[in-house]
């Protein structure tokens, strides 16, 4: 959405509903429809039509009635609603993981962040909200078609181009090193990797991060998890990696029938976090011993 009728920045989600804004309509059966408001337009459903003019200029959080008398709750979509319904070029990072990444990476207003593997831009939106207009998010995506989808989704959500965002098309390692040679994306605060082979980018991540900076890696499989962690350990410039996954279970709430829902949002991916050590720093040997056979028969336990 690039219409100049829609304010940008903090005002984009405040005040009365405006022409050009997206609105989420929820019917009594909790079915949701997202529309873009336009003067004189109507949204047609199996239960009748809803006039856009009945919403434009009024507040959100109101009930609008279709021509057949069916009530719909009108609200601006939240970020999680937008992400789950937006156009996709690649699989998205789901809201539960995006929220965890922002917290796990300790991303704050004004932070300088690198993101690689933009996909459809779902995580980019969360990162941009976290760094704010005064921060910086440099996103890298190797596929131009994915980058086009991500760019459109980011601009649709914020109402315009985000002032803190730059999007570069190309493989992370050569592209980032080229930008670093120009004095760009150096000594950054945080790096987030969402890609098939993040272990190939551990070295360049160490070159770009400032000492104490945080690296978070999102992977889908246990083999990716293991290889990434072992690469970080072998590289020697990182703290001991930490890994987690999130399983989300919603609940059914109806009178005294309070129980877990029959379905749940289970495994989507693993999150790995590590921090950049200062150059020349060597961590003390780990005191925990690996299980017998964990590294193969020829592995020798470290001394100390």
What gap in Å lies between CA 183 and CA 190, rounded to an integer? Answer: 17
Res 294: pLDDT: 73
- The pLDDT score that the predictor gives to residue 15 is 87
| Res 146: pLDDT | 94
Q: What is the pLDDT of residue 112?
A: 97
Fold of 9-77: Vcp-like ATPase; Chain A, domain 2 (3.10.330)
What's residue 264's pLDDT? 82
Q: Which fold has domain 81-275?
A: Rossmann fold (3.40.50)
Domain ranges of the chain: 9-77, 81-275
pLDDT given at position 263 = 86
Q: What is the pTM of this model?
A: 0.84
Residues 191 and 209 sit within 8 Å (Cβ to Cβ): yes
pLDDT on residue 3: 38
Predicted local distance difference test score (pLDDT) of residue 300: 62
**Mean pLDDT for back-to-back runs of 10 residues, the chain (304 residues):** 40 80 90 90 92 93 94 92 80 89 96 95 95 96 94 89 95 96 95 96 97 97 96 96 93 92 87 96 79 69 53
């Amino acid at each position: 959405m690039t219409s100049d009728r829609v304010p940008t920045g903090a005002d984009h989600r405040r005040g009365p509903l405006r022409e050009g804004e997206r609105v989420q309509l929820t019917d009594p059966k909790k079915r949701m429809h997202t529309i873009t408001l336009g003067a004189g337009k109507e949204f047609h459903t199996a239960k009748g039509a809803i006039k856009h003019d009945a919403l434009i200029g009024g507040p959100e959080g109101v009930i609008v009635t279709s021509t057949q008398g069916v009530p719909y709750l009108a609200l601006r979509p939240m970020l999680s609603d937008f992400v789950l319904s937006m156009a996709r070029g690649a699989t998205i990072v789901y809201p539960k993981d995006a929220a965890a990444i922002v917290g796990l990476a300790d991303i704050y207003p004004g932070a300088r962040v690198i993101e690689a593997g933009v996909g459809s831009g779902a995580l980019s939106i969360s990162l941009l909200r976290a760094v704010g207009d005064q921060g910086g998010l440099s996103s890298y995506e190797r596929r131009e078609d994915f980058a086009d989808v991500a760019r459109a989704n980011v601009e649709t959500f914020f109402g315009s181009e985000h002032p803190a965002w730059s999007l570069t098309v190309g493989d992370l390692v050569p592209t980032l090193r080229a930008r670093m040679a120009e004095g760009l994306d150096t000594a950054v605060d945080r790096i987030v990797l969402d890609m098939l082979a993040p272990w190939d980018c551990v070295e360049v991540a160490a070159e770009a991060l400032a000492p104490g900076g945080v690296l978070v890696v999102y992977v889908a499989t246990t083999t990716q998890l293991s290889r990434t962690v072992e690469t970080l350990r072998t590289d020697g410039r990182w703290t001991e990696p930490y890994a987690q996954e999130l399983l989300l279970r919603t609940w059914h709430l109806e009178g005294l029938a309070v129980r877990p829902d029959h379905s749940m949002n289970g495994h989507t991916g693993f999150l790995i976090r590590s921090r950049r050590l200062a150059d020349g720093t060597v961590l003390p040997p780990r005191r925990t011993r690996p299980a017998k056979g964990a590294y193969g028969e020829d592995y020798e336990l470290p001394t100390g």
